[in-house]
Structure 1
Amino acid sequence: MAKIDTIQVNGNPMRILYEKPHGNGPHPCMVVMFHRGGFDEFTKKILKNLADLNIFSAAPDVYHWSEIKDQTGKNLFPKDTDLIEDIGGTIDWISKLHSVDIQRLGIIGHCMGGRMAFLGASVYSQFKVCISYYSGNMFKVWGDDNHPTPFDQLSNIKAEVLGFFGNDDENPSQHDVNIISSELTRLDIKHQFYRYDGAGHAFQNFLSVDRFREEARNDSWSKTETFLKEKLCIIPSCVD
Protein backbone atom coordinates (compact mmCIF):
# COMPACT_ATOMS: atom_id res chain seq x y z
CA MET A 1 0.00 0.00 0.00
CA ALA A 2 1.26 3.46 -0.88
CA LYS A 3 2.42 5.73 1.93
CA ILE A 4 3.14 9.44 2.19
CA ASP A 5 6.18 11.31 3.45
CA THR A 6 6.77 15.06 3.42
CA ILE A 7 9.96 16.89 2.49
CA GLN A 8 10.92 20.54 2.11
CA VAL A 9 11.56 22.06 -1.31
CA ASN A 10 12.86 25.61 -1.07
CA GLY A 11 11.07 26.03 2.24
CA ASN A 12 7.79 24.59 0.92
CA PRO A 13 6.41 21.29 2.23
CA MET A 14 5.94 18.71 -0.53
CA ARG A 15 4.29 15.33 -0.12
CA ILE A 16 5.80 12.25 -1.72
CA LEU A 17 3.56 9.26 -2.38
CA TYR A 18 5.65 6.10 -2.45
CA GLU A 19 5.31 2.35 -2.58
CA LYS A 20 7.86 -0.24 -1.52
CA PRO A 21 8.23 -3.66 -3.12
CA HIS A 22 8.47 -6.75 -0.96
CA GLY A 23 11.90 -7.79 0.29
CA ASN A 24 14.85 -5.91 1.65
CA GLY A 25 16.42 -4.72 -1.59
CA PRO A 26 18.33 -2.81 -2.63
CA HIS A 27 15.65 -2.14 -5.22
CA PRO A 28 15.79 -0.15 -8.45
CA CYS A 29 13.73 3.01 -8.19
CA MET A 30 11.44 5.15 -10.33
CA VAL A 31 10.30 8.74 -9.94
CA VAL A 32 6.65 8.87 -11.02
CA MET A 33 5.41 12.17 -12.44
CA PHE A 34 1.65 12.19 -12.14
CA HIS A 35 -1.00 13.27 -14.64
CA ARG A 36 -3.61 16.00 -14.12
CA GLY A 37 -5.44 13.80 -11.63
CA GLY A 38 -2.62 14.05 -9.09
CA PHE A 39 -2.62 11.40 -6.38
CA ASP A 40 -5.70 9.63 -7.76
CA GLU A 41 -6.35 5.91 -8.18
CA PHE A 42 -4.57 5.87 -11.53
CA THR A 43 -1.35 7.21 -10.02
CA LYS A 44 -1.61 4.79 -7.11
CA LYS A 45 -2.06 1.92 -9.58
CA ILE A 46 1.13 2.91 -11.42
CA LEU A 47 3.05 2.83 -8.13
CA LYS A 48 1.53 -0.56 -7.30
CA ASN A 49 2.42 -1.94 -10.74
CA LEU A 50 6.01 -0.84 -10.28
CA ALA A 51 6.18 -2.39 -6.81
CA ASP A 52 4.98 -5.66 -8.35
CA LEU A 53 8.05 -5.44 -10.61
CA ASN A 54 10.26 -5.14 -7.52
CA ILE A 55 10.79 -1.42 -8.14
CA PHE A 56 10.59 1.25 -5.44
CA SER A 57 8.53 4.18 -6.74
CA ALA A 58 7.96 7.73 -5.53
CA ALA A 59 5.61 10.40 -6.87
CA PRO A 60 6.22 14.04 -5.88
CA ASP A 61 3.16 16.23 -5.33
CA VAL A 62 4.04 19.01 -7.76
CA TYR A 63 0.78 20.79 -6.89
CA HIS A 64 2.23 21.98 -3.58
CA TRP A 65 3.32 25.43 -4.81
CA SER A 66 1.21 28.33 -3.50
CA GLU A 67 0.50 29.71 -7.00
CA ILE A 68 -1.41 26.50 -7.73
CA LYS A 69 -3.01 25.86 -4.33
CA ASP A 70 -4.27 29.44 -3.98
CA GLN A 71 -6.07 29.46 -7.34
CA THR A 72 -8.36 26.45 -7.18
CA GLY A 73 -10.40 25.97 -10.32
CA LYS A 74 -7.91 27.54 -12.68
CA ASN A 75 -6.17 25.23 -15.11
CA LEU A 76 -2.68 25.99 -13.86
CA PHE A 77 0.44 23.95 -14.50
CA PRO A 78 3.51 23.95 -12.24
CA LYS A 79 6.36 26.14 -13.42
CA ASP A 80 9.22 24.31 -15.10
CA THR A 81 11.70 25.82 -12.66
CA ASP A 82 9.62 24.55 -9.73
CA LEU A 83 9.25 21.12 -11.31
CA ILE A 84 13.01 20.84 -11.60
CA GLU A 85 13.34 21.59 -7.88
CA ASP A 86 10.63 19.04 -7.03
CA ILE A 87 12.30 16.29 -9.04
CA GLY A 88 15.68 17.09 -7.52
CA GLY A 89 14.20 16.98 -4.03
CA THR A 90 12.63 13.60 -4.77
CA ILE A 91 15.95 12.20 -5.99
CA ASP A 92 17.65 13.43 -2.81
CA TRP A 93 14.95 11.83 -0.67
CA ILE A 94 15.25 8.50 -2.49
CA SER A 95 19.04 8.53 -2.27
CA LYS A 96 18.87 8.50 1.53
CA LEU A 97 16.87 5.28 1.66
CA HIS A 98 18.78 2.09 2.49
CA SER A 99 16.40 -0.16 0.57
CA VAL A 100 17.05 1.35 -2.87
CA ASP A 101 19.89 1.34 -5.37
CA ILE A 102 20.10 4.93 -6.60
CA GLN A 103 22.36 3.79 -9.42
CA ARG A 104 19.29 2.11 -10.97
CA LEU A 105 17.06 5.17 -11.19
CA GLY A 106 14.43 6.00 -13.78
CA ILE A 107 11.58 8.43 -14.36
CA ILE A 108 8.11 7.79 -15.79
CA GLY A 109 5.07 9.95 -16.43
CA HIS A 110 1.70 10.15 -18.17
CA CYS A 111 0.16 13.18 -19.89
CA MET A 112 1.69 16.28 -18.27
CA GLY A 113 3.78 13.81 -16.29
CA GLY A 114 5.20 12.49 -19.57
CA ARG A 115 6.36 16.02 -20.34
CA MET A 116 7.81 16.27 -16.83
CA ALA A 117 9.64 12.97 -17.36
CA PHE A 118 11.41 14.41 -20.40
CA LEU A 119 12.20 17.58 -18.45
CA GLY A 120 13.57 15.65 -15.47
CA ALA A 121 15.71 13.40 -17.63
CA SER A 122 17.11 16.47 -19.39
CA VAL A 123 18.20 18.10 -16.14
CA TYR A 124 19.28 15.13 -14.00
CA SER A 125 21.85 12.79 -15.50
CA GLN A 126 21.22 10.25 -12.72
CA PHE A 127 18.25 8.86 -14.64
CA LYS A 128 19.08 5.70 -16.55
CA VAL A 129 15.67 5.42 -18.22
CA CYS A 130 12.92 7.87 -19.16
CA ILE A 131 9.44 6.54 -19.96
CA SER A 132 6.94 9.01 -21.34
CA TYR A 133 3.29 8.44 -22.16
CA TYR A 134 1.57 10.92 -24.52
CA SER A 135 3.71 13.90 -23.50
CA GLY A 136 1.96 17.04 -24.72
CA ASN A 137 3.18 20.64 -24.54
CA MET A 138 6.77 19.68 -25.28
CA PHE A 139 7.28 22.88 -27.26
CA LYS A 140 5.91 25.23 -24.60
CA VAL A 141 7.43 26.78 -21.49
CA TRP A 142 5.50 26.58 -18.24
CA GLY A 143 6.33 29.73 -16.30
CA ASP A 144 9.31 31.92 -17.17
CA ASP A 145 9.39 32.52 -20.92
CA ASN A 146 13.18 32.77 -20.77
CA HIS A 147 13.43 29.14 -19.68
CA PRO A 148 13.99 26.58 -22.47
CA THR A 149 11.20 24.19 -23.40
CA PRO A 150 11.51 20.46 -22.71
CA PHE A 151 12.10 19.97 -26.43
CA ASP A 152 14.94 22.49 -26.36
CA GLN A 153 16.63 20.49 -23.59
CA LEU A 154 16.47 17.04 -25.17
CA SER A 155 20.17 17.21 -26.01
CA ASN A 156 20.97 16.89 -22.29
CA ILE A 157 19.29 13.52 -21.87
CA LYS A 158 21.60 10.69 -20.80
CA ALA A 159 18.80 8.17 -20.22
CA GLU A 160 17.42 5.67 -22.69
CA VAL A 161 13.93 6.79 -23.72
CA LEU A 162 10.72 4.80 -24.16
CA GLY A 163 7.61 6.59 -25.44
CA PHE A 164 3.97 5.71 -26.10
CA PHE A 165 1.46 7.74 -28.10
CA GLY A 166 -2.07 7.54 -29.46
CA ASN A 167 -2.44 8.34 -33.13
CA ASP A 168 -5.76 10.12 -32.45
CA ASP A 169 -4.13 12.46 -29.92
CA GLU A 170 -3.93 16.16 -30.75
CA ASN A 171 -1.42 17.06 -28.02
CA PRO A 172 0.98 15.55 -28.86
CA SER A 173 -0.13 15.15 -32.44
CA GLN A 174 1.45 12.63 -34.78
CA HIS A 175 3.43 15.52 -36.25
CA ASP A 176 4.69 16.48 -32.77
CA VAL A 177 5.78 12.90 -32.12
CA ASN A 178 7.61 12.81 -35.45
CA ILE A 179 9.52 15.97 -34.56
CA ILE A 180 10.49 14.67 -31.11
CA SER A 181 11.59 11.31 -32.50
CA SER A 182 13.60 12.93 -35.29
CA GLU A 183 15.34 15.20 -32.79
CA LEU A 184 16.26 12.29 -30.52
CA THR A 185 17.61 10.44 -33.54
CA ARG A 186 19.62 13.49 -34.60
CA LEU A 187 21.04 13.74 -31.10
CA ASP A 188 21.90 10.03 -31.11
CA ILE A 189 19.76 9.44 -28.03
CA LYS A 190 18.59 5.84 -27.92
CA HIS A 191 14.81 5.69 -27.93
CA GLN A 192 11.86 3.50 -28.82
CA PHE A 193 8.49 5.07 -29.70
CA TYR A 194 5.25 3.09 -30.04
CA ARG A 195 2.03 4.46 -31.52
CA TYR A 196 -1.50 3.10 -31.37
CA ASP A 197 -4.29 3.48 -33.92
CA GLY A 198 -7.73 4.08 -32.46
CA ALA A 199 -6.22 5.55 -29.29
CA GLY A 200 -5.99 9.16 -28.25
CA HIS A 201 -4.72 11.01 -25.21
CA ALA A 202 -4.78 9.21 -21.84
CA PHE A 203 -5.46 5.80 -23.36
CA GLN A 204 -4.02 4.12 -20.25
CA ASN A 205 -6.32 5.94 -17.85
CA PHE A 206 -8.93 3.42 -16.72
CA LEU A 207 -10.70 6.20 -14.80
CA SER A 208 -11.77 7.77 -18.10
CA VAL A 209 -14.33 5.60 -19.90
CA ASP A 210 -14.15 7.73 -23.04
CA ARG A 211 -10.37 7.65 -23.34
CA PHE A 212 -9.34 4.26 -22.00
CA ARG A 213 -8.26 1.74 -24.65
CA GLU A 214 -7.65 -1.68 -23.13
CA GLU A 215 -5.63 -3.16 -25.99
CA ALA A 216 -3.29 -0.17 -26.20
CA ARG A 217 -3.03 -0.08 -22.42
CA ASN A 218 -2.08 -3.75 -22.14
CA ASP A 219 0.44 -3.67 -24.96
CA SER A 220 2.13 -0.48 -23.79
CA TRP A 221 2.42 -1.63 -20.19
CA SER A 222 3.77 -5.01 -21.28
CA LYS A 223 6.46 -3.20 -23.25
CA THR A 224 7.12 -0.96 -20.25
CA GLU A 225 7.64 -3.98 -18.00
CA THR A 226 10.02 -5.63 -20.45
CA PHE A 227 12.00 -2.42 -20.83
CA LEU A 228 12.32 -1.89 -17.09
CA LYS A 229 13.29 -5.49 -16.39
CA GLU A 230 16.11 -5.20 -18.89
CA LYS A 231 17.35 -1.65 -18.37
CA LEU A 232 17.14 -1.46 -14.57
CA CYS A 233 18.62 -4.93 -14.12
CA ILE A 234 15.67 -6.47 -12.33
CA ILE A 235 16.07 -9.96 -13.74
CA PRO A 236 18.88 -12.09 -12.22
CA SER A 237 20.74 -12.50 -15.51
CA CYS A 238 21.12 -8.71 -15.66
CA VAL A 239 22.44 -8.46 -12.11
CA ASP A 240 24.95 -11.29 -12.40
Structure 2
Amino acid sequence: MRATDSYEGLLAETITVPGQGGDRIHAYSARPLGPGPYPGVVLFHHRPGWDEWYRHATRLFAHHGYFAVCPDLYCRVGHGEPDDVAARAQAEGGVADEQVVGDAAACVDLIRSHPASSGRIGYFGTCSGARHAYLAACRGPVVDALVDCWGGRIVMAADELTDKQPVAPVDLTADLPCPLLGLFGNEDRNPTPEHVDVLEDALRTHDKPYEFHRYEGAGHGFFYHDRPAAYRAEAAVDGWQKVWRFLADTLGGE
Protein backbone atom coordinates (compact mmCIF):
# COMPACT_ATOMS: atom_id res chain seq x y z
CA MET A 1 0.00 0.00 0.00
CA ARG A 2 1.34 3.41 -0.97
CA ALA A 3 1.93 6.27 1.43
CA THR A 4 -0.39 9.24 1.05
CA ASP A 5 2.46 11.45 -0.15
CA SER A 6 3.51 9.07 -2.94
CA TYR A 7 3.49 10.39 -6.48
CA GLU A 8 0.88 8.78 -8.70
CA GLY A 9 0.55 9.26 -12.44
CA LEU A 10 -0.69 7.06 -15.25
CA LEU A 11 -0.36 7.06 -19.01
CA ALA A 12 -3.51 5.56 -20.55
CA GLU A 13 -4.12 5.57 -24.28
CA THR A 14 -5.41 3.70 -27.30
CA ILE A 15 -2.58 2.22 -29.34
CA THR A 16 -2.18 -0.24 -32.20
CA VAL A 17 -0.19 -3.46 -32.18
CA PRO A 18 0.68 -5.89 -34.99
CA GLY A 19 -1.62 -8.81 -34.21
CA GLN A 20 -1.94 -12.23 -35.79
CA GLY A 21 -0.96 -12.16 -39.46
CA GLY A 22 0.48 -8.66 -39.14
CA ASP A 23 -2.96 -7.04 -38.84
CA ARG A 24 -2.85 -3.73 -36.97
CA ILE A 25 -5.36 -4.00 -34.14
CA HIS A 26 -6.35 -1.55 -31.43
CA ALA A 27 -5.39 -2.04 -27.82
CA TYR A 28 -5.89 0.00 -24.67
CA SER A 29 -2.70 0.52 -22.69
CA ALA A 30 -2.17 1.91 -19.21
CA ARG A 31 1.00 2.05 -17.13
CA PRO A 32 2.41 4.04 -14.25
CA LEU A 33 4.42 7.11 -15.15
CA GLY A 34 7.89 6.30 -13.97
CA PRO A 35 10.99 4.37 -14.95
CA GLY A 36 9.80 1.04 -13.56
CA PRO A 37 10.55 -1.75 -13.88
CA TYR A 38 6.88 -2.78 -13.86
CA PRO A 39 5.46 -6.26 -14.35
CA GLY A 40 2.96 -6.58 -17.16
CA VAL A 41 -0.59 -7.85 -17.53
CA VAL A 42 -2.45 -8.64 -20.76
CA LEU A 43 -6.22 -8.42 -20.32
CA PHE A 44 -8.59 -10.48 -22.49
CA HIS A 45 -12.00 -8.83 -22.75
CA HIS A 46 -15.24 -10.69 -22.30
CA ARG A 47 -17.85 -11.68 -24.88
CA PRO A 48 -19.70 -8.32 -24.59
CA GLY A 49 -16.60 -6.80 -26.13
CA TRP A 50 -13.87 -4.22 -25.67
CA ASP A 51 -16.01 -2.05 -23.44
CA GLU A 52 -15.83 0.54 -20.69
CA TRP A 53 -15.45 -2.04 -17.92
CA TYR A 54 -12.29 -3.35 -19.54
CA ARG A 55 -10.83 0.13 -19.95
CA HIS A 56 -11.55 0.72 -16.28
CA ALA A 57 -9.90 -2.61 -15.38
CA THR A 58 -6.84 -1.78 -17.48
CA ARG A 59 -6.37 1.50 -15.63
CA LEU A 60 -6.95 -0.30 -12.32
CA PHE A 61 -4.06 -2.65 -13.04
CA ALA A 62 -1.87 0.35 -13.87
CA HIS A 63 -2.89 2.01 -10.60
CA HIS A 64 -1.65 -1.12 -8.83
CA GLY A 65 1.73 -0.87 -10.53
CA TYR A 66 1.33 -2.97 -13.69
CA PHE A 67 1.99 -2.23 -17.35
CA ALA A 68 -1.41 -3.32 -18.66
CA VAL A 69 -2.53 -3.87 -22.25
CA CYS A 70 -5.99 -4.94 -23.39
CA PRO A 71 -6.27 -5.78 -27.11
CA ASP A 72 -9.54 -5.38 -29.03
CA LEU A 73 -10.02 -9.00 -30.10
CA TYR A 74 -13.01 -7.94 -32.24
CA CYS A 75 -11.12 -5.19 -34.07
CA ARG A 76 -11.21 -6.93 -37.42
CA VAL A 77 -15.02 -6.98 -37.66
CA GLY A 78 -15.19 -3.18 -37.58
CA HIS A 79 -15.92 -0.44 -35.09
CA GLY A 80 -18.88 1.11 -33.32
CA GLU A 81 -20.64 0.68 -29.99
CA PRO A 82 -19.13 -2.30 -28.13
CA ASP A 83 -22.45 -4.19 -28.02
CA ASP A 84 -22.91 -3.82 -31.77
CA VAL A 85 -19.36 -4.88 -32.55
CA ALA A 86 -19.68 -7.87 -30.22
CA ALA A 87 -22.91 -8.90 -31.94
CA ARG A 88 -21.19 -8.81 -35.33
CA ALA A 89 -18.31 -10.88 -33.99
CA GLN A 90 -20.65 -13.48 -32.52
CA ALA A 91 -22.65 -13.62 -35.75
CA GLU A 92 -19.41 -14.67 -37.44
CA GLY A 93 -18.89 -17.45 -34.91
CA GLY A 94 -16.64 -15.50 -32.59
CA VAL A 95 -12.92 -15.05 -33.04
CA ALA A 96 -10.58 -17.87 -34.02
CA ASP A 97 -8.43 -19.34 -31.27
CA GLU A 98 -5.29 -19.06 -33.39
CA GLN A 99 -5.98 -15.37 -33.96
CA VAL A 100 -6.36 -14.71 -30.24
CA VAL A 101 -3.08 -16.45 -29.45
CA GLY A 102 -1.31 -14.31 -32.06
CA ASP A 103 -2.86 -11.08 -30.83
CA ALA A 104 -1.87 -11.91 -27.25
CA ALA A 105 1.70 -12.69 -28.30
CA ALA A 106 1.93 -9.24 -29.90
CA CYS A 107 0.91 -7.62 -26.61
CA VAL A 108 3.47 -9.69 -24.69
CA ASP A 109 6.18 -8.57 -27.14
CA LEU A 110 5.09 -4.94 -26.79
CA ILE A 111 5.33 -5.01 -23.00
CA ARG A 112 8.57 -6.97 -22.78
CA SER A 113 10.29 -4.69 -25.31
CA HIS A 114 9.47 -1.55 -23.31
CA PRO A 115 12.24 -0.12 -21.10
CA ALA A 116 9.81 0.18 -18.19
CA SER A 117 9.01 -3.54 -18.23
CA SER A 118 10.38 -6.01 -15.69
CA GLY A 119 9.87 -8.82 -18.20
CA ARG A 120 7.40 -10.72 -16.02
CA ILE A 121 3.89 -10.91 -17.46
CA GLY A 122 0.54 -12.37 -16.44
CA TYR A 123 -2.75 -12.94 -18.24
CA PHE A 124 -6.15 -11.87 -16.89
CA GLY A 125 -9.54 -12.66 -18.38
CA THR A 126 -13.21 -12.90 -17.48
CA CYS A 127 -15.95 -14.92 -19.17
CA SER A 128 -14.84 -15.83 -22.73
CA GLY A 129 -11.74 -13.72 -22.07
CA ALA A 130 -10.65 -16.20 -19.40
CA ARG A 131 -10.99 -19.00 -21.95
CA HIS A 132 -8.83 -17.00 -24.33
CA ALA A 133 -6.30 -16.29 -21.58
CA TYR A 134 -6.05 -19.99 -20.67
CA LEU A 135 -5.64 -20.93 -24.32
CA ALA A 136 -2.99 -18.26 -24.95
CA ALA A 137 -1.05 -19.27 -21.83
CA CYS A 138 -0.89 -22.86 -23.07
CA ARG A 139 -0.15 -22.12 -26.74
CA GLY A 140 1.60 -18.75 -26.83
CA PRO A 141 4.76 -17.28 -25.35
CA VAL A 142 5.57 -18.37 -21.82
CA VAL A 143 3.98 -16.15 -19.19
CA ASP A 144 4.33 -16.11 -15.42
CA ALA A 145 0.76 -16.04 -14.09
CA LEU A 146 -2.83 -16.59 -15.19
CA VAL A 147 -6.05 -15.27 -13.63
CA ASP A 148 -9.21 -17.08 -14.73
CA CYS A 149 -12.40 -15.30 -13.66
CA TRP A 150 -15.41 -17.54 -14.36
CA GLY A 151 -14.02 -18.67 -17.70
CA GLY A 152 -16.72 -20.35 -19.77
CA ARG A 153 -16.01 -23.01 -22.38
CA ILE A 154 -12.60 -23.90 -21.00
CA VAL A 155 -14.29 -27.25 -20.52
CA MET A 156 -16.16 -28.12 -23.74
CA ALA A 157 -18.12 -31.09 -25.02
CA ALA A 158 -17.18 -32.53 -28.39
CA ASP A 159 -20.29 -31.06 -30.04
CA GLU A 160 -19.29 -27.56 -28.90
CA LEU A 161 -16.04 -27.55 -30.88
CA THR A 162 -15.98 -25.52 -34.10
CA ASP A 163 -13.54 -24.65 -36.87
CA LYS A 164 -12.66 -21.46 -34.99
CA GLN A 165 -12.55 -23.19 -31.59
CA PRO A 166 -11.24 -26.65 -32.42
CA VAL A 167 -9.96 -27.60 -28.98
CA ALA A 168 -11.16 -27.40 -25.39
CA PRO A 169 -8.52 -25.43 -23.48
CA VAL A 170 -8.74 -27.85 -20.55
CA ASP A 171 -7.20 -30.46 -22.87
CA LEU A 172 -4.08 -28.29 -23.14
CA THR A 173 -3.50 -28.17 -19.38
CA ALA A 174 -0.30 -30.22 -19.61
CA ASP A 175 1.23 -27.21 -21.42
CA LEU A 176 0.19 -24.58 -18.88
CA PRO A 177 3.48 -22.89 -17.92
CA CYS A 178 2.47 -20.84 -14.89
CA PRO A 179 0.46 -20.71 -11.65
CA LEU A 180 -3.29 -20.18 -11.99
CA LEU A 181 -5.77 -18.26 -9.86
CA GLY A 182 -9.41 -19.16 -10.50
CA LEU A 183 -12.44 -17.22 -9.20
CA PHE A 184 -15.91 -18.71 -9.71
CA GLY A 185 -19.51 -18.19 -8.65
CA ASN A 186 -21.39 -21.26 -7.49
CA GLU A 187 -24.57 -20.04 -9.19
CA ASP A 188 -22.86 -19.71 -12.59
CA ARG A 189 -24.16 -21.79 -15.48
CA ASN A 190 -21.11 -21.35 -17.72
CA PRO A 191 -18.91 -22.52 -16.18
CA THR A 192 -21.03 -24.66 -13.91
CA PRO A 193 -19.55 -25.91 -10.65
CA GLU A 194 -19.18 -29.25 -12.43
CA HIS A 195 -17.08 -27.61 -15.16
CA VAL A 196 -14.87 -26.09 -12.47
CA ASP A 197 -14.45 -29.55 -10.95
CA VAL A 198 -13.29 -30.94 -14.31
CA LEU A 199 -10.77 -28.11 -14.68
CA GLU A 200 -9.51 -28.65 -11.15
CA ASP A 201 -9.08 -32.38 -11.81
CA ALA A 202 -7.00 -31.60 -14.93
CA LEU A 203 -4.76 -29.23 -12.99
CA ARG A 204 -4.23 -31.82 -10.29
CA THR A 205 -3.56 -34.57 -12.82
CA HIS A 206 -0.82 -32.51 -14.44
CA ASP A 207 0.54 -31.26 -11.12
CA LYS A 208 -0.02 -27.59 -11.95
CA PRO A 209 0.14 -24.93 -9.20
CA TYR A 210 -3.27 -23.33 -8.75
CA GLU A 211 -5.74 -21.92 -6.26
CA PHE A 212 -9.50 -21.81 -6.73
CA HIS A 213 -12.03 -19.72 -4.84
CA ARG A 214 -15.75 -20.37 -5.22
CA TYR A 215 -18.33 -17.86 -4.01
CA GLU A 216 -21.76 -18.72 -2.71
CA GLY A 217 -24.52 -16.41 -3.88
CA ALA A 218 -22.52 -15.29 -6.91
CA GLY A 219 -23.10 -16.15 -10.54
CA HIS A 220 -21.52 -15.08 -13.81
CA GLY A 221 -19.82 -11.69 -13.89
CA PHE A 222 -19.82 -10.86 -10.20
CA PHE A 223 -17.03 -8.27 -10.68
CA TYR A 224 -19.11 -6.19 -13.10
CA HIS A 225 -20.14 -3.11 -11.15
CA ASP A 226 -21.84 -1.78 -14.30
CA ARG A 227 -24.23 -4.76 -14.38
CA PRO A 228 -26.28 -4.59 -11.17
CA ALA A 229 -27.97 -7.94 -11.72
CA ALA A 230 -24.60 -9.70 -11.82
CA TYR A 231 -22.51 -7.64 -9.38
CA ARG A 232 -21.88 -9.07 -5.91
CA ALA A 233 -19.98 -6.53 -3.85
CA GLU A 234 -18.66 -8.83 -1.13
CA ALA A 235 -17.41 -11.45 -3.58
CA ALA A 236 -15.94 -8.78 -5.88
CA VAL A 237 -14.00 -7.04 -3.10
CA ASP A 238 -12.63 -10.34 -1.84
CA GLY A 239 -11.85 -11.51 -5.38
CA TRP A 240 -9.90 -8.39 -6.30
CA GLN A 241 -7.88 -8.69 -3.10
CA LYS A 242 -6.99 -12.23 -4.10
CA VAL A 243 -5.98 -11.05 -7.58
CA TRP A 244 -3.60 -8.42 -6.17
CA ARG A 245 -2.05 -10.86 -3.71
CA PHE A 246 -1.64 -13.58 -6.35
CA LEU A 247 0.00 -11.24 -8.86
CA ALA A 248 2.28 -9.77 -6.21
CA ASP A 249 3.44 -13.30 -5.41
CA THR A 250 3.89 -14.42 -9.02
CA LEU A 251 4.92 -11.25 -10.85
CA GLY A 252 6.54 -9.22 -8.10
CA GLY A 253 3.96 -6.43 -8.27
CA GLU A 254 2.51 -4.37 -5.47
Q: What is the TM-score normalised by the length of structure 1?
A: 0.90
Where 1:28 maps in the other structure, the secondary structure is strand
Tell me if structure 1 keeps the 8 A contact 2:74–2:89: no
What is the RMSD of the two structures over their aligned residues, measured on CA atoms?
Answer: 2.2
Identical residues among aligned pairs (%): 27
Where 1:20 maps in the other structure, the secondary structure is strand
- Please list the CA deviations of residues 135-163 of structure 1 after superposition, one character each: whole Å capped at 9, or x if unmatched: 00113466527832211111100110000
**What pairs with 1:1-240 in structure 2 (closer than 5 Å)?**
2-9=12-19, 10-66=21-77, 72=88, 74-75=90-91, 76-102=93-119, 104-140=120-156, 143-144=162-163, 147-234=166-253
- Please list the CA deviations of residues 145-189 of structure 1 after superposition, one character each: whole Å capped at 9, or x if unmatched: 783221111110011000000000000000000010111011000
AA in 1 matched with 2:94 = F
- Partners in 2 of 1:127 and 1:205 — Cα distance? 26
- Partners in 2 of 1:174 and 1:196 — Cα distance? 11
Where 2:166 maps in the other structure, the secondary structure is coil
Where 2:32 maps in the other structure, the secondary structure is coil
- Partners in 2 of 1:146 and 1:218 — Cα distance? 33
- Please list the CA deviations of residues 76-114 of structure 1 after superposition, one character each: whole Å capped at 9, or x if unmatched: 421111111111111122222111122x11100011111
Where 2:34 maps in the other structure, the secondary structure is coil
Given the superposition, is the C-alpha separation of residues 219 and 71 from structure 1 closer, same or farther in structure 2, using an over 3 Å criterion? closer
Where 2:188 maps in the other structure, the secondary structure is coil
Matched positions, count = 234
**Please, which runs of 5 or more residues in structure 2 have no aligned partner?**
1-10, 80-84
Tell me if structure 1 keeps the 8 A contact 2:18–2:103: no
Tell me if structure 2 keeps the 8 A contact 1:184–1:190: yes
Post-superposition offset of 1:41: 2.1
- Please list the CA deviations of residues 44-78 of structure 1 after superposition, one character each: whole Å capped at 9, or x if unmatched: 22112211211110011110234996973844421
- Partners in 1 of 2:140 and 2:74 — Cα distance? 21
Given the superposition, is the C-alpha separation of residues 146 and 64 from structure 1 closer, same or farther in structure 2, using an over 3 Å criterion? closer
**Please, which runs of 5 or more residues in structure 1 have no aligned partner?**
236-240
Given the superposition, is the C-alpha separation of residues 25 and 155 from structure 1 closer, same or farther in structure 2, using an over 3 Å criterion? same
Q: What is the TM-score normalised by the length of structure 2?
A: 0.85
- Please list the CA deviations of residues 169-213 of structure 1 after superposition, one character each: whole Å capped at 9, or x if unmatched: 000000000010111011000000000010000010111110000
Where 1:72 maps in the other structure, the secondary structure is helix
Tell me if structure 2 keeps the 8 A contact 1:125–1:157: no
Post-superposition offset of 1:229: 1.3
Given the superposition, is the C-alpha separation of residues 187 and 174 from structure 1 closer, same or farther in structure 2, using an over 3 Å criterion? same
Given the superposition, is the C-alpha separation of residues 112 and 74 from structure 1 closer, same or farther in structure 2, using an over 3 Å criterion? closer
- Partners in 2 of 1:63 and 1:13 — Cα distance? 12
- Partners in 1 of 2:133 and 2:76 — Cα distance? 19
Given the superposition, is the C-alpha separation of residues 146 and 39 from structure 1 closer, same or farther in structure 2, using an over 3 Å criterion? closer
